[in-house]
Amino acid sequence: MSFRPLYDRVLVKRITAEAKTAGGLIIPDAAKEKPQEAEVISVGTGRVLDSGSVRAMSVKIGDRVLFGKYTGDEIKLDGEEHIILREEDILAVLA
């Protein structure tokens, strides 16, 4: 399915969390927290400013980002879970 977010929105897919701790213990699914790290799948054109001009997005497809725990809207595309965020909800881009 073709999907393009509007304006300053970003489509991301969560990066799966490790199933084991550093010590080798297996973490059961019930105890796992949803990861706050994701890969950018698609980006909008940018934020429309009051002057009418468009500010370009600072993230691009393929970037790994961190986002807030309770931000964004979860959606399903082609049977896979994705999240739509505003660019301002992204906390950092990982290098």
- Model confidence pLDDT, tens digit, residues 42-68: 998 888 888 988 888 889 999 999 998
Cβ count near 23 (within 10 Å): 5
66 within some domain: yes
Residue 62, pLDDT score = 92
First to last CA, the chain: 29
Domain count of the fold of the chain: 1
Task: Report in angstroms the alpha-carbon separations of 79 from 1, 34, 75, 76, 86.
Answer: 11, 18, 9, 6, 22
Residue 32, pLDDT score = 57
92 within some domain: yes
> Between vectors from CA 23 to CA 21 and to CA 29, what angle results, nearest 5°?
25
Band (27; pLDDT cuts 50, 70, 90): low
Whether residue 16 is predicted with pLDDT greater than 80 in this model: the reply is no
Distance, in Å, from the CA atom of 58 to the CA atom of 46, rounded to the nearest integer, reads 9
- The CATH number that applies at residue 45 is 2.30.33.40
Domain hosting residue 38, numbered range: 1-13+34-95
Cβ count near 26 (within 10 Å): 8
Q: What is the mean pLDDT of residues 24-42?
A: 73
Distance, in Å, from the CA atom of 28 to the CA atom of 39, rounded to the nearest integer, reads 24
Enter the tokens of residue 78. 């082609």
Mean of the per-residue pLDDT values for the chain?
A: 83
Residue 34, pLDDT score = 66
